Amino acid sequence: MSTTADVVVIGGGVNGTSAAFHLATLGVTNVILVERGQLAAGATGKSGALVRTHYTNVPESQLAFESLKVFQRFKEIVGYDAGFDGLGFIQVVGPGYGDALAANVAAQQALGINTRMVPLDELQELQPGIAIDDIGAAAFEPDSGYADPNATAYAFARAAEALGVQIWTHCAATAIVRDGGRVVAVETERGRIATENVVLAPGAYARQLLEPLGLDYGLYPQRSMVAIFRWPPGWERRHHVIIDNINHSWLRPEGSQATLIGVEQPIGDYDPDNYNQGVDGSFVDVARAALARRFPAFGDATMRGGWSGVYMMSPDGRPIIDQVPSVPGLFVMLGDSGTSFKTAPAIGKCLAEWVVLGEPQLLDLSPFRSTRFAEGKPWIDETAYSPKRQTISR
C-alpha cells in the first residue's frame, strides 16, 4: 500500500491528538495519526490529569496558562467535553520556601494568571481539614482543577477526524525514513506513508524511533503510581486539588466520595510494554501516610484502588518540544516528564503552527529546545521548592 500525507503524527496520546486537531484547524487535513495501541494507551490514559498553572518557571506556566484557557472552553473550542473541573488548586511548600513561592506567584500574576498567596490562618478556612503545622507558605489558583485525560484525548481525536484526519490505531510506526537528512516517509505496520513532516509524540517509546536517527537525549521511562482512598466518615465536601511539596505528593477528588493521590517515586528505567500496571502493596501505606499528613482525617481511609502508568523523563525533568535541527521535517514532543497532560492543548497548537507556519505563534518554545543538553545548559529553576529532583509534585 502506498500512501501520502502532508503530516504523520506518531502517538495517540493527548499531545499527538492535540497536534492532529490543531493541524486540522489550521487547514492541514491530509494528516495520518498512527497509534501502536488504542487512543490514550500510554501515560495519558493513566494520568492524574491535574490542570494547574503553578510552576517554578515562567515558560511552563505560560504553556499551562494557555492550555487552561482551552480547558475552560473545551467544548466550545474542540466540540466535545474534556471533563474539566475548575474547583481550585492549592500549592503548599515547606518552611524556607515562602520567598520562592511568592516570587513564582508574582511572576504568574504578571502573566495574567489568577493566583495569590494565602496566609496560613486563611488556608484552613479555604480548605477545611487541612493540617498546616509543617507548611511554610501556600498559594491558591481558583480557576485550576483537573480533567478527564481519556476524554480529552478522545475529544481531540474525534474533532480531528471530523475535520478529515485519519487515525490508525493498532498501527505502530516502525521507522522514520530520511533522504539527504530530511524526513521523506514513515514506515508503519500498515506500510510506508510518504510525508515531509512528522510530529513525534511517542511518550515512553521514544527511544525506539530516535536511536536509528542518531538522536539520544538521555530519556528514560519512569513508572508512577496513584491510589484512591474513600473519604472517611464525616468528610462530605470535595476538597481542592493540592500539590504538597512537603510530602512530595499531589491529590484531587476522584468522583464524589474519594481522593486520588500520587506520591513521588524513586527514579527507575521501566519497560512500557512490561510493567505492573497495578499498585505495589507498599505504595498503599506510603500514599495513605502522605494523605494523612495533609488531611489527618484520612489516617484510616480505606484504599479503593489505583493504577500505575509510565511516562518519559528527560534528564532535566522538562519536556523537549522542538523541530529537531539535524532532521528537517521532524517535530517532537518528548520527555513529558510526568507533567505534560495539562499543557497538551498549547503544545499541540504550537507544534501545528510550527509545521504549517514555520514557527510557533502562540509562545516562544526555545526554552524547551532539544539542543539544551548538548549545549551544557539543562533546565534549572532558581525558585524550586526542593534541592531534590522532583517530577509530578514539583
Alpha-carbon separation of residue 305 from 77, 227, 228 (angstroms): 34, 6, 5
CB nearer to ligand FAD: give 37 or 79: 37
Say how many residues touch ligand FAD, by CB under 6 A: 41
Return the range that interacts with ligand FAD (CB under 6 A); candidates 12-20, 72-80, 132-140, 353-361: 12-20
Q: Is residue 201 involved in binding ligand FAD (CB under 6 A)?
A: yes
Residue 47 vs 245, nearer CB to ligand FAD = 47
Alpha helices in 163-242 (DSSP H): 206-210
Q: How far apart are the first and last CA of the chain?
A: 47
Report d(CA 335, CA 168) in Å as an integer: 23
Segment (H or E) for 312: strand 303-313
Residues, the chain: 394
* C-alpha of 378 from chain center: 19
Q: How far is CA 250 from CA 102, 288, 393, in A?
A: 20, 12, 6
- Does residue 335 bind ligand FAD (CB under 6 A)? no
Of 28-36, 72-80, 121-129, 158-166, which part binds ligand FAD (CB under 6 A)? 28-36
Q: Is 60 in the site for ligand FAD (CB under 6 A)?
A: no
Give the nearest distance from C-beta 121 to ligand FAD in angstroms: 29
| Residue of 24, 135, 219, 333 that binds ligand FAD (CB under 6 A) | 333
Cell numbers standing for residue 350: 504550537
Query: According to CB under 6 A, which residues from 218 to 257 bind ligand FAD?
Result: 224, 226
Sorted by sequence, the CB contacts under 8 Å of residue 325 that are 6+ apart come out as: 370, 371
Nearer to ligand FAD, 169 or 297 (CB): 169
Phi, psi of 53 (to 5 degrees): -105, -5
Contact 308, 46 (CB under 8 A): yes
Q: Does 13 bind ligand FAD (CB under 6 A)?
A: yes
- In this structure, the dihedral spanned by the alpha carbons of residues 201, 207, 209 and 215, taken in order and rounded to 10 degrees, is 100
- Given 25, 44, 61, 104, the residue binding ligand FAD (CB under 6 A): 44
Q: Which of 89, 341, 354, 368 binds ligand FAD (CB under 6 A)?
A: 341
- Give the cell for residue 101: 513561592
Grid coordinates representing 36 are 501502536
The rounded distance, in Å, linking the Cα atoms of 51 and 30 is 31
- Kindly state whether residue 49 participates in binding ligand FAD, applying the rule CB under 6 A: yes
Interface pick for ligand FAD out of 88, 221, 253, 338 (rule CB under 6 A): 338
Provide, rounded to whole angstroms, the least separation between the CB of residue 272 and ligand FAD. 8
Selected range binding ligand FAD among 157-165, 200-208, 263-271, 365-373, rule: CB under 6 A: 200-208
Residue of the chain from 21, 31, 42, 65 that contacts ligand FAD (CB under 6 A):
42
Regarding 11 and contact with ligand FAD (CB under 6 A), the answer is: yes
Q: Scan residues 265-304 and list those touching ligand FAD (CB under 6 A).
A: none
Instruction: Verify binding: residue 127, ligand FAD, rule CB under 6 A.
Output: no
Angle between helix 344-357 and helix 58-72 axes, rounded to 10 deg: 100
Summarize as ranges the residues that interact with ligand FAD (CB under 6 A).
10-16, 34-37, 41-44, 46-50, 172-173, 201-205, 209, 224, 226, 262, 309, 311, 333, 336, 338-342, 392
